[in-house]
Chains A and B, each alone.
Chain A
Amino acid sequence: MTADLVLRHLEKRFPNGTVAVDGIDLEVGAGELVALLGPSGCGKTTTLRMVAGFEDPSAGTIELGGKRIDVLPPDRRGATMVFQGYALFPHLSVFENVGYGLRVRRVGGQALRDKVHAALELVGLEGLGDRRPQQLSGGQQQRVALARALILEPKLLLFDEPLSNLDAKLREQMRLEIRTLQQRVGITSLYVTHDQAEAMTLADRIAVMDRGRIAQLGTPREIYEEPADRLVAAFVGHANFTAGIIRGRRGDTLIVETLGASRPTSFAPGVYAEGDQVDVMIRPEEVHVVPAGADGAIAGTVVASSFLGGSALYQLLAGGVELQATVPMERGVPLQPAGAAVGLRVRDGAFRAFPAGSVPREGAARG
């Protein structure tokens, strides 16, 4: 895959001294969708706005299709954006909103009408051209914003948390629609979100950002299964952490003593030596709840349990460590009540070690 959008050591310092983006490098391949994911204040939106030209980088360059665009004004960059609040022009009709960019480029008459109609059809809004944006539902407004950005056949499509104003159901539906449309049109995209499920569904690759830097860049699966540090682990999905001590090394796994036994453990980048303290992560779905006293099971107690429909969520206590477990539910199988003694089993490959206290816990990121 050839790199289409290239950010080189991009940096943004505000006059008050805040470093919003702290020198990031990122390559987005042609037709690829990369999501910038992170908590608020991590620099993802500032990065996107620098690409769009609404913020000037303090240092670094931005290239698109082999040409530097950071030197161009925002109206010449060929990168259209879907805004967070859609930013539909309230005094213009849907048709005029979608056709705005073409009108600016002096396209008129039949050519304009054809293209606008094609764009409206693409997003499933045929026949609504005469409406005002205010007369449309949130999902429809979202589609207008999409059509308005796509009609210019841009080299790059930018998304600034486009789904954050929609309710949960519609959000899930729009995620799939955007993904389908983006792949059909085959357009290079940069997508900012703080919603990890959204990033997982939509993105070819995710860049998890933390305090102005890219903490990890990888496919959704890599990010989830092999998080590079504790923050990424905690931000993408839920992560249980427990303490462990390194007892040895076998090939590319560590042997870590945790939860009362020595266990083969994958590990995040870092320096490890025998006898070191490490933090060990276990995903909730890897914690299996079995009857108390089952062979080889870790002894635990249920602190709280709740029924979620297809699965159950347990808060458990095992050897002084709090663990969360999601367990598939079958019809008729009772939920273990609070206070019940249970056994816990975790698959050998499900442990992942991090240098102890290597990264501050989630929520420590600047606002």
Chain B
Amino acid sequence: MIAIRRDPAAAALALMVAAAIAFGLGYPLANVLGQAVLDDLGRFDVAPIVRIFSFPVPRAVVVNSLLMGVLAATMGTLLGFAFALTTARAVRGPHRSALHYIALLPLIAPPFALALSTIFLFGRQGLLTRGLFHWETDPYGLTGLLFVQTITFFPVAYLIFDALVRQLDPALEEAALNLGASRGRILRTVVIPLLRPGFAAAFLIIFVESLADLANPLLIGGDFNVLASSAYLAIIGEFDTRKAVAYSVVLMLPSLLAYFAQRIWVGESSVVTVTGKPSGGRAQRLGASFRVGLLVVTGTVAVLVLLLYLTVLAGAFTKLLGIDNTVTLDNFKFVLGGIGTRAMTDTTFLSAVAAPIAALLGLATAYLVVRTKVPGRTVFDYVVMLGAAAPGIVLGLGILLAFNHRPFLLSGTAVIFIIAFVIRTAPVSLRTTVAALLQIDPSLEQASANLGAGAATTFRRITLPLVRRAVLSGAIFSFTRNMTTLSTIALLVTPNWRIMTSQILNEIDAQRLGSGAAYSTILIVIVLAAVITLNRVFGKAPIEVGA
């Protein structure tokens, strides 16, 4: 409510953010759409695009993608729910923490690590399947893809349910118990209905992530082609821009629909479950047999997650895991002796430069949306979020198309990666900062103004220190995401700048699985080291905000 509208700074800020988004996001996406609806001579014509989908293969690709998205979202959501229920109601103490952190592990995995270890464990030469049980298996295709995607994306659902379950008012369950409901009935009639927005949100988010996933379909999809991988292969293998654009446009539609459905529909209804202050009381434990069943499922998955990670390590330190298990450092020597060292420094440098910019763009947008009266400010929110809602491959394609000709000839430069990273990760910073700003009672900023501080001073001395943690976590997230993304940069790599994920893809393509594992290990170590260091350096005790 503060009268910043008297302050022209807000208008200037709005203009700067608008310019940044228009350049980094609007212009590239416009290039994709332009290619989709204009023919080679620049006339409006959608016939070339439509014609592509008259052939059976592209049609199958669309069906495959939707099938994969729905199945992966269903399985990921259910597994995430099972984990949240387990950590909230079935285990306590150190077991709870262990399960919690194991469930979060896949979030920091570079895109190939899990697929790679799945191939090591369950592949044609799989350690478990062939080595232990002498089974003939073939993980390549929908089954393997779903397995990897479920493990990769269930943590997203877990985080959503975990937050919601904590907000459930125990008094509601006590009331149901008091009225004579059994534990199973409480779960069915009280807990699950209250978590319904969580189910919708988790399903939609995983659906979007699954569709946008590039690494797993490339690595383990086999002949099962999906939109993202087809768009990638159209450029890399066939140099067919129009085909890539066609796949991209079709990929955009369900992604954006699901994304905005989640924002509008779930975003509002989820507030209902927040019952304010917990009214004391203890959450009800689960029935014994149900609890055991739940523990078996989540326990198995937790062991599997650990196993997959250890397998990456084992793969990195052996000649060729499953065939020649000699312990060796050759993989690391090969990687670090080759272009691996450059890839490490290049990727880390680009990621580190982009991270604070993404955090600042998120902060600027969040401030515009929450604290100013600039007309149309909510539009900024939705437009910036497009950077995360659009599949990475589409964004990458747009940036490739937009910046390889005048007036912005940037291909091959560092700038192009930084644009991609910033646009891709600013949305998360935006969300965390919006949440933090909404936590700050407006009376704090009013008090500052009342004591004689102008808008700029208030921002610097009051607002910024109070949202510092959110901005920092936005920057840390940006850094890790930049380090580990493949889909956004897959089409942008040139010999000028080496990106680790792209190098991993090359190694695996060349059947050098051991080097791929070594690369992945190095990547995980860099990310973990950076996150821990940044938290140590900047993250003092969090501040309780509000009265």
Q: Which residues of A contact B (CB under 8 A)?
A: 52-56, 73-76, 79-81, 83-91, 100-101, 104-105, 134, 148-149, 152, 165
Contact = CB atoms under 8 A, between A and B. Distances in A.
B466 A100 contact: no
B450 A100 contact: no
Contact of A76 (B447, B452, B545): B452
B451 A104 contact: yes
B446 A83 contact: yes
What secondary structure prevails in chain A residues at the interface with B?
A: loop
B441 interface: yes
B327 interface: no
B444 A89 contact: yes
A73 B450 CA distance: 9
B3 A56 contact: yes
Given A100-B451, A104-B452, 19 more contacts: A53-B449, A54-B449, A73-B6, A74-B2, A74-B3, A74-B450, A75-B451, A75-B453, A79-B450, A80-B451, A83-B443, A84-B443, A85-B546, A87-B441, A88-B547, A89-B448, A90-B444, A100-B448, A152-B451
B447 A83 contact: yes
Interface in B458-475: 461-462, 465-466
B453 A54 contact: no
Contact of A134 (B444, B451, B544): B544
24 contacts: A56-B3, A74-B446, A79-B450, A84-B443, A85-B441, A86-B547, A87-B443, A87-B444, A87-B446, A88-B447, A89-B444, A89-B447, A90-B444, A90-B546, A91-B465, A91-B466, A91-B543, A100-B448, A100-B451, A101-B453, A104-B457, A148-B451, A152-B451, A165-B547
Contact of A55 (B1, B443, B546): B1
Interface string B1-23: 11100100000000000000000
Contacts of A73: 3, 6, 449, 454
Contacts of B451: 75, 80, 100-101, 104, 148-149, 152
A90 B2 contact: no
A83 B449 CA distance: 12
B3 A85 contact: no
Contact of A75 (B441, B454, B465): B454
Contact of A80 (B1, B450, B461): B450
Contacts of A55: 1
B10 to A, nearest CB: 13
B240 to A, nearest CB: 54
B266 to A, nearest CB: 27
B196 to A, nearest CB: 31
Which of A56, A91, A134 has the most chain B CB atoms closer than 10 A to its own CB?
Answer: A91
Given A74-B450, A83-B443, A152-B452, A90 B3 contact: no
Which of B2, B447, B462 has the most chain A CB atoms closer than 10 A to its own CB?
Answer: B447
A88 B546 CA distance: 9
Contacts of B450: 52-53, 74-75, 79-81
A75 B445 CA distance: 11
A13 to B, nearest CB: 16
A54 B2 contact: yes
Contacts of B544: 90, 134
A5 B341 CA distance: 72
Interface string B521-547: 000000000000000000000011111
B105 to A, nearest CB: 33
B465 to A, nearest CB: 5
Interface in B416-444: 441, 443-444
Contacts of A53: 3, 449-450
Contacts of A56: 3
Given A56-B3, A165-B547, A75 B443 contact: no
Contacts of A79: 450
B349 to A, nearest CB: 33
A119 to B, nearest CB: 13
A101 B452 contact: yes
Contact of B452 (A90, A91, A105): A105
A105 B3 CA distance: 20
